[in-house]
Each structure stands twice: as structure tokens, then as C-alpha cells.
Amino acid sequence: MGLNGRSSLAQSPGRTNPAWEQSIRSGLDYLARTQTARGQWNTPSYPTALAALAGTALLCSGSTTTQGPYAQQIARCTDFLISKCRGNGLIGDPTTDNRYTYGHGFSMLLLSQVLGEEGYEDRRLELLEVLRQAVDFCCNAQTDAGGWGYVSAKDGANYDEGSTTITQVQGLRGCRNAGIAVPAEAIEKAKNYIYECKNDDGGISYSSKQMGTSRPAITAAALAALYNAGDYDGQHVPEMLKYSREKLHTNIADDGTAFGHWHYTYLYYSQVVYRQGDEQWLPFRDRLYDKIVSEQASDGSWTGQISPVYITACNLIILQLDRGLLPIYQR
């Protein structure tokens, strides 16, 4: 993983807008300021998932658990997520969270990125064990169709759903990149699940149980997951990319196209466009970043569905994407 010595000032060519940098710093300071001493954020809904997302946003700045202006917050968040690891490998609490797979997937993603920067041997060993168990749980929770639901296949009567499937695939990819063994069968089943959910227009359905209506958000997320799984040129990718571009690329206004999930949609679609190279990315990025920055509140947060922590974390990951500091988001 060899990323020691990352600089929080690292940036891609063309990142020249001071307003973006100020917005990022204000947002990161908001997350740092609102974190509790235990390492989480006061979010009754999705406490594990939102802690992992907020931690990922902080990690994107270049800070690690030991270095940088947000090191303390990242370390606390890591401690909190480790504390949520149960005996069966689940990172989360099924007694208080009825959609715990979101938290599990986002936690695998964050902890796998932290692992590559962890310099203390005992801490690395602890993270490795947590992630090994998390991968086992994830694979055991996969449905017969190859996807995942809001809960494990056993707890959820084998029901699957696209957005949770994406979090698992990206989390598994992060673990594999960090050196954790991930069964190839689980990834292949997930890829086939995405293909089976594709409609004639190139879009992806909400679930294999509810085929027919394409969802731009899930299609964009599925593309990002396929890229993470190494599928850049598969037979289904061009149609999915064409559908996503038609729905999401030119008009980035929150006009209902994303089915009420604009920030989730562009969290993933920005990853898709970024991997297309600078010719596609730079003009799109400028429009997207200007829109996001214009909507920021004076305290550094953004507001919207679920909680300000969720919206702020999503926006900050997008705004820091082309810093290229986290392996999972790199080209």
C-alpha cells in the first residue's frame, strides 16, 4: 500500500480554485468539531455507516491515524468501528440498526484504507483480524442471487437490493487491495448480480426481485463497483455508462432524476467520471464542485436527507476525489 508520507496539500493538476479548498477545510473542521469523544457522530440513523463515511472524508484529506490535522478524529473513528465488530464478523449492531449492511460495507472500506497507513504492528494485527472476520461475514451474508440486502441473506429472507450490494463490493475490494483474502467467487457472483439487474436501456434495477425500472443512482454506483472489481470493458459496461451519462452528466441539478438520492448518486458517478481521465473529468468536476460549494452552510456543513453528517461526508469525499490519496478511489 506504501502511502506513508501523504500530504494533505496533494492535488491533481488543474485544482486551482481557492474556494474549493476553503470549502473542504470548513467541511472537515465541521466533522472534526461534531465528533463525539467515543469516535462517532450523534446520528440516530445509521450510526456505524455515517461514522465510517465521515472517517473516510477525513482520511481523504491526507491525514492518517497518527499524522495530519485530523489524525485524532480518524483514530477515534477507527476505535469506534473496531468496537462495533461482533463475534460473527459484523461491524455494526443488528439490535439498533435494521439496515446494518450499509455500516458493514462502509466500515470495511474505511478500515482497509486505514490499514495501509497503520505503522504500529499490534494495531495492524488487530485491523487485519477485524477485516478478515468482516470479509467472512460479508461473504456469508450474500444472497443466492449474488447481491446483498439491508441485512444478511439469513436475516432478510434472501432479499437483495442494489445500493447495499455496491457498499459490499467496494468494501471487499478495499480489503483485497489491503492484502485480505477475498474469495473470487463472491466478487463474480456480485458482478453477475449486477448484470442480471440490467434493463434494456442500460440502467440497473433496484433489486433482482423488482425488475423493470432503471435507477440512475444504482447504475452509477454499480459502474463504480464494477470498476473496483476490475471490469472496465465488459460487455455490459458501455450500455451502463451511456445510460448514466444521459441521465447524470450534463444536467447535475437535483431535479428528481436521482430518485431523491442526489448525494449518493454523485458520490459514485463522480468516481466513474474520474476514471474516464481528465478530458472527461475536469470540465465535469468544475461544474459539480461549484454546485456543491455554493450550497455549503456557514458552519461548514451541508444539509439534506438523513443528516448533515451524511451529506457533508459525501460532499467532502467528492470534493477530494482527485487528490488521489485513497487507493480505492485512485485511477
Closest CA to 56 of 41, 77, 72: 77
pLDDT category of residue 12 using cuts at 50, 70 and 90: low
What the block records as the C-alpha cell of 54 is 465521515
Question: Is the per-residue pLDDT at 323 higher than 70?
Answer: yes
pLDDT category of residue 23 using cuts at 50, 70 and 90: very high
Query: 87-111 pLDDT, tens per residue?
Result: 999 999 999 898 999 999 999 999 9
Please work out, in degrees rounded to the nearest 5, the angle formed at the alpha carbon of residue 172 by the alpha carbons of 39 and 24.
45
Q: Which residues pair with 119 in a beta bridge?
A: none
The residue-averaged pLDDT of 278-307 equals: 95
Q: What are the helix (H) ranges across the chain?
A: 18-34, 47-59, 71-83, 100-115, 121-141, 162-177, 184-196, 216-228, 237-248, 262-274, 278-294, 308-319
Closest CA to 115 of 106, 124, 107: 124
pLDDT category of residue 2 using cuts at 50, 70 and 90: very low
- Residues ≥6 apart with Cβ < 8 Å to 184: none
- Whole-number average pLDDT of the chain: 90
What the block records as the C-alpha cell of 304 is 439534506
- DSSP class of residue 38? T
Question: Structure pTM?
Answer: 0.93
pLDDT category of residue 5 using cuts at 50, 70 and 90: very low
Query: 219-255 pLDDT, tens per residue?
Result: 999 999 888 877 777 788 999 999 999 999 999 988 7
Residue 258: predicted pLDDT: 65
